[in-house]
Structure 1
Amino acid sequence: MTSTTPPVVRPTAAERARTVACRPSAAVCAAGVSGSRVLAHATTKAGSVLLVVPAAGELAVAVRTAEDGDLAALVMVTDHAPVSLRDPVRAQLWLSGWLAPVPDDETREAALEFAEVLPAGALLDVGVSATLLRLDLAEVVLGENGGTTEIEPEDYTAANPDPLVAVESSALQHLDADHPEELALLRSRIPAQWLAAGDVVRPLGLDRAGFRLRIESGRGHRDVRVPFDVPVDSEDALGPAVHRMMCAARRCCRVSD
């Protein structure tokens, strides 16, 4: 198969970490705390890691009563694929540091910064049945594809989430359920030697650089990128980029035929 696709580009590890941080599934492990609910979590545009937890919960109580005024903690965010896959976990992010209550005179500003990236309903309960905590970040580790990458906290806080993070899930679900022809065209961009009879190709991810596909087979699975001709920088640029990709794939398929 003749390929005219450009070299594969992918977001940086810090960008990927900030994108995973936008996912809703989070858990906290802290010294002396057996378990605690996270009502909502966010990394603000300025890179501040904030948690909303029950005010009467074990975690909030442990933070308030900590001798040094803060508590060693690990926040783990799990990124699940938006379509049904045999192995649905795409990535995990571990944010380590020290949890402390947001001071009363900073709570309103911190809540507004939180709401700017995630307008969670739990913010309305802050000061009543919920408490806002801030993680003083010491270590960032991103787990992907069976490996881990350590990221400097400064790089994490300076990075931005992927510009398509808000529309990725709906776009992939729509592709998977309603556009078998387009999915077949994306499959045609995978090197033939990577595919065997009976292999199933599913949409795995979408970011500014292009699509990620999951090849599921009896041998396990393999992930591959199909890049846009030019990385996109906004949701508005997604439609034209996908159109150009599909047109290029159709031309290649006609040449192959």
Structure 2
Amino acid sequence: MTRPSHQTASDALRPTIAQRARTVAARPGAAVRAGGLDGCRVLAHAVTADGDVLLVVPTDGEVAGTVRHAPDGDLAALVMVTDHAPVRLRDPVRAQVWLSGWLTPVEAGEERAAAVAFAEVAPVGDLLDVGRGTTLLRMDLAELALGEDGSVAELTPEAFLAADPDPLVEVEAAVLQHMDAEHRAELALLRSRMPASLLGASDEVRPLGLDRCGFRLRMEQPRGHQDVRVPFASPVSDAEQLASAVHRLLCAARGGCPGH
């Protein structure tokens, strides 16, 4: 049985719900559900700097065809984005975000500007085929929800669009994969920062997540798992501050470092 993340004083230092939702929404891999459609995958998706939610879909595919033939010119739909851990875990799904609203085709005169805005946040090759095999769709957001740690939180489109994805989203996967493969001693140090009551002798510590506020670690247990947040001394604002934040965290775990 999987238990939700343990709530401790360290959880007070974590990204907001809106920030976490924006980060999950920036992950690759989205699916559309609508009338007659059940989980159709899209080629790419993005939330632009101006707050447009855009999808790239095959022009001859089910999603584009259903939107084109919608009676009112728009299609009520749900876009689901799933966030997977970048290391191999028994349960790799970390979170999901659900975006509900109405899909419409981007007008031909707006396609170029929309594709440029899309490419600024997600430079995918499928954008090169817009108008020649792929179609750009825009979603008018109505409702959003973030599912993580066994619970679901709702948020407004305004709060979602006002937030930014985590500044470490581009480096997170490489950092966690390197830590998992090459820095087991450091993981053991971070384990020492956890409440002893949470740890079993056979529990294995794995890196689960990294964001502006710190690490999320997973306790792989004989039955199920448990997730714990290990925060930095203070949030980082970009990837350049990460090395210093990790150094300070490990020094604290060691009880201090020479010269500090």
C-alpha distance in structure 1 between counterparts of 2:235 and 2:176, whole Å: 18
1:195 corresponds to which of 192, 199, 218: 199
SS of the counterpart of 1:124?
A: helix
Instruction: Tell me if 1:14 matches 2:18.
Output: yes
TM-score for both structures, normalised by structure 2? 0.92
Q: 1:180-221: per-residue Cα shift (whole Å, max 9, x none)?
A: 111111111111111011011100000000000001112321
1:77 corresponds to which of 81, 84, 90: 81
Over 6 Å off, 4+ runs: none
C-alpha distance in structure 2 between counterparts of 1:128 and 1:32, whole Å: 25
C-alpha distance in structure 1 between counterparts of 2:197 and 2:39, whole Å: 47
Residue of structure 2 equivalent to 1:243: 247
Task: Number of aligned residue pairs: give it.
Answer: 249
C-alpha distance in structure 2 between counterparts of 1:18 and 1:170, whole Å: 20
Q: 1:106-164: per-residue Cα shift (whole Å, max 9, x none)?
A: 11111111100000000001010000000110010100011100011110011100000
Q: Is the 8 A contact 2:22 2:160 kept in 1?
A: yes
SS of the counterpart of 1:135?
A: strand
C-alpha distance in structure 1 between counterparts of 2:49 and 2:215, whole Å: 25
Residue of structure 2 equivalent to 1:126: 130
Aligned amino acid, residue 163 of structure 1: P
Instruction: Tell me if 1:217 matches 2:221.
Output: yes
Residue of structure 2 equivalent to 1:95: 99
TM-superposed deviation, 1:32: 2.4
Instruction: Tell me if 1:45 matches 2:46.
Output: no
Residue pairs, 1:55-204, within 5 angstroms: 55-204=59-208
C-alpha distance in structure 1 between counterparts of 2:160 and 2:10, whole Å: 28
Aligned amino acid, residue 36 of structure 2: G
Gaps of 5+ in 2: 1-8
TM-score for both structures, normalised by structure 1? 0.93
6-15 or 84-93, larger mean C-alpha shift: 6-15
C-alpha distance in structure 1 between counterparts of 2:39 and 2:248, whole Å: 48
Percent identity of paired positions between Structure 1 and Structure 2: 65
Q: Is the 8 A contact 1:8 1:227 kept in 2?
A: no
Residue of structure 1 equivalent to 2:40: 36
CA 205–6 in structure 1, closer or farther in 2 if over 3 Å, else same: closer
78-87 or 57-66, larger mean C-alpha shift: 57-66
Gaps of 5+ in 1: none
Q: Is the 8 A contact 1:35 1:58 kept in 2?
A: no
Aligned amino acid, residue 234 of structure 2: V
Aligned amino acid, residue 155 of structure 2: I
Residue of structure 1 equivalent to 2:6: none
C-alpha distance in structure 2 between counterparts of 1:115 and 1:33, whole Å: 27
CA 246–50 in structure 1, closer or farther in 2 if over 3 Å, else same: same
227-236 or 38-47, larger mean C-alpha shift: 38-47
Q: Is the 8 A contact 1:203 1:214 kept in 2?
A: yes
Aligned amino acid, residue 105 of structure 1: G
Q: Is the 8 A contact 1:63 1:99 kept in 2?
A: yes
